[in-house]
Amino acid sequence: MTNILVTGGAGYIGSHACKALARAGYVPVTYDNLVTGWQDAVKFGPFERGDLLDRSRLDEVFDKYRPAAVMHFAALSQVGEAMAEPGRYWRNNVTGSLNLIEAAVAAECVDFVFSSTCATYGDHDNVVLDESTLQQPLNAYGASKRAIEEILRDFEHAHGLNHVIFRYFNVAGADPDGEVGEYHRPETHLVPVLLDTIDGNRDALTVFGTDYDTPDGTCIRDYVHVCDLVDAHVLGLEWLEQGKGSRVFNLGTGSGFSVMEVIAQSRSVTNREVPYEIGPRRAGDCTKLVSGSTRAQAELGWKPKRSRLETMVTDAWRWHQTGLYQK
């Protein structure tokens, strides 16, 4: 069977990707330092603990498994932290990714699927973003991801490293079978914070601003189900296997939901009240941020199946109720 090296495979998106890869007939090899991931999420293939900054450890893993491709999720990803500690983000995300890319090329593993972000685009408020939108990141997180995209392009020209880059928006939901789900330390994503609040683990959710130019005054974001997202990554891997060359794809639904709509849906799914309070706007929050994903649909044949808001919240609530995230 074909081995695929999955960096960050013990994290939220990476663990779902490992399940999708296993279902598609691959062997996902998780490489993770467990700083933000958790080992209990590694259920679908072998686990190798290691850091991207440790080049000799990467070489050992490439030599042991001889992967046919890399699926790279591992990164620090908190925007507030990135603004306060930019050096940490440049060192971890960029230097670590460069180590990984060089190790892959040295091992003649030249198919590479990269998890990028809409944060590379910066502040393009209230427009639908597509792959040609100017990249103007506002913080070290988005800037580090853009830098890695540029490294991949340079290594394609110099070493024939074929790559698919996915830039995506707000990821939500969980494995409908309840085997893996969303778990961050600390948790900052809206849906799990909402469910934590509903469950009494937080006093109240803070809604940051209700004076935006939207129907209910709260920000609108494009949400995509994590299972739809990782399905696209498997399609990206197949794209590379078929020799179709390097490509960039946005992943989103092309529409969005406001904070108040997510709150209302959470109330409907759980049949519980949602304690929340109104706070001031956060610096840098856009009114509306949505993705144009027609390229992924037309070229990859990607068809989101679970990215309805009700489905995403329902799957997240089912996972939340397992209590596995608390272990």
Q: Which of 3, 172, 130 is nearest to 71 (CA)?
A: 3
CA 256/CA 231 separation, integer angstroms: 20
31 is catalytic: no
Q: How many alpha carbons fall within 13 Å on the CB side of residue 76?
A: 28
| Tokens representing residue 246 in the block | 């390097």
**CA-based radius of gyration for the chain:** 19
- Of the residues 26, 141, 212, 325, only one is catalytic, namely 141
Q: Is the dihedral of CA 301, 258, 139, 37 positive or negative?
A: negative
* 162 beta partners: 111
Q: How many alpha carbons fall within 13 Å on the CB side of residue 102?
A: 12
CA 62/CA 58 separation, integer angstroms: 6
Q: How far is CA 192 from CA 26, 37, 44, 173, 314, in A?
A: 30, 16, 24, 9, 11
Active-site amino acid positions:
141
